[in-house]
Homo-oligomer: A and B are copies of this chain.
Amino acid sequence: MKVVHYSEVPGEDAGEETSGVTIRWVISAEDGAPNYYMRVFEITPGGHTPLHRHAWEHEIYILDGEAELVSEEGSSRVGPGTAIFIPGEELHQIRNPGESLLRLICTIPKT
């Protein structure tokens, strides 16, 4: 059993086409996770993930703050306690339209 507080896991910059996004891999292949991985994202006010699509799905849960979910159909705003399933190949982006830190869990399958 691995037990870790998310804040103990070093944050990594999320790279190109993002702004103000830090990723902490709280459960990864290095832990022996065989099927999927858990990351905690922190997105500063005005920050965003890439507007992109890829073959694998995401399963997301909003922890704190406000999130703007951008898809092919437009955008919507949601808050803590919201679960989001983004199927593979669907265009998506998450933006922080609020004034406080947006924190969320973003899981991905092994690819």
- Indicate whether A99 reaches chain B with its CB closer than 8 angstroms: no
- Indicate whether A17 reaches chain B with its CB closer than 8 angstroms: no
Contact assessment for B2 and A32 in the assembled complex, using a CB-CB cutoff below 8 Å: no
**Bound-state Cα–Cα, A4 to B78, Å:** 9
- Indicate whether A16 reaches chain B with its CB closer than 8 angstroms: no
Query: Which residue of the partner chain B has the closest CB to A6?
Result: B81
Contact assessment for A109 and B36 in the assembled complex, using a CB-CB cutoff below 8 Å: yes
Contact assessment for A69 and B105 in the assembled complex, using a CB-CB cutoff below 8 Å: no
Least CB distance from A43 to B in Å reads 17
A-B contact pairs, 8 of them (CB 8 A): A3-B82, A4-B83, A6-B81, A7-B81, A27-B85, A34-B57, A35-B57, A105-B105
